[in-house]
Amino acid sequence: MRKFEDSYRHKGLRKQLRDSLSKKGIQDERVLDAINKIPRHFFMDSALDKIAYEDRAFPIGEGQTISQPFTVAYQSQLLELKPFEKVLEIGTGSAYQACVLAEMGAQVYTIERQRNLFDQNKKFFYLKKYPNIKLFFGDGFEGLPTYGPFDKIIVTAAAPLIPTKLISQLKTGGKMVIPVDEGNLQRMVRITKNEDGTILEEKFDLFSFVPMLGGKTNGDRSN
């Protein structure tokens, strides 16, 4: 069960989370402001209410997780988002990351392969606040060719490799932030598509994500 009350205590814990992320090296004020604003406890079971603002991942059902706030902030910062940019997210999960990007002014197209998580988000009242988020049920390896190209792409599950179909859905000058398998962990990688068609690849820190899986679960409606 989830509870949707946002108390002074929650707000205070959010402010502390914002400050701790800033101390951990997140400098983009727009990212920090979005995290300070969005009630993260709305995105998880009320049993986790007291610990919802700890800087760690939590289970959200279907064996999936809401990413750690530091990871959300880190990926959001690497995107170097500008208002109104079109962003494709792979792995909607709880939709928390999608809300952070939407709060920063992006037009968010987000894909989830787990039917139950997709259905849950379709009914999630808090998302009504963000008409700039569009939810899709499908396989993120395919991207959304009919809605592209995108200014930015963010992958929030561990990718075995960088999917070429996603690179082809990036605009020239566009960037993709993706955690790529390296041993048991993932290396955060940022791809930039240059004017001349070449690709710049930058490597950042190691993280731990749930796997990016092919195909989708039960049902095949796409919207």
Residues that bind ligand SAH (CB under 6 A): 64-67, 90-91, 93-94, 96-97, 111-114, 117, 139-141, 156-157, 210, 212-213
Are 90 and 153 in contact by the 8 Å Cβ rule? The answer is yes
Among 20, 67, 94, 222, the active-site one is 67
Q: What is the DSSP string of 100-152?
A: HHHHTT-EEEEEES-HHHHHHHHH-GGGGG-TTEEEEES-GGG--TTT--EEE
Closer CB to ligand SAH, residue 59 or residue 173? 59
d(CA 62, CA 87): 25
Pairing outcome for strands 86-90 and 107-112: parallel
Closer CB to ligand SAH, residue 61 or residue 149? 61
- Supply the minimum distance, in Å, between the C-beta of residue 91 and ligand SAH: 2
- Supply the minimum distance, in Å, between the C-beta of residue 143 and ligand SAH: 9
Q: Please indicate whether residue 222 is annotated as part of the active site.
A: no
Pairing outcome for strands 86-90 and 150-155: parallel
- Supply the minimum distance, in Å, between the C-beta of residue 96 and ligand SAH: 4
Closer CB to ligand SAH, residue 66 or residue 79? 66
Annotated active-site positions, please?
67
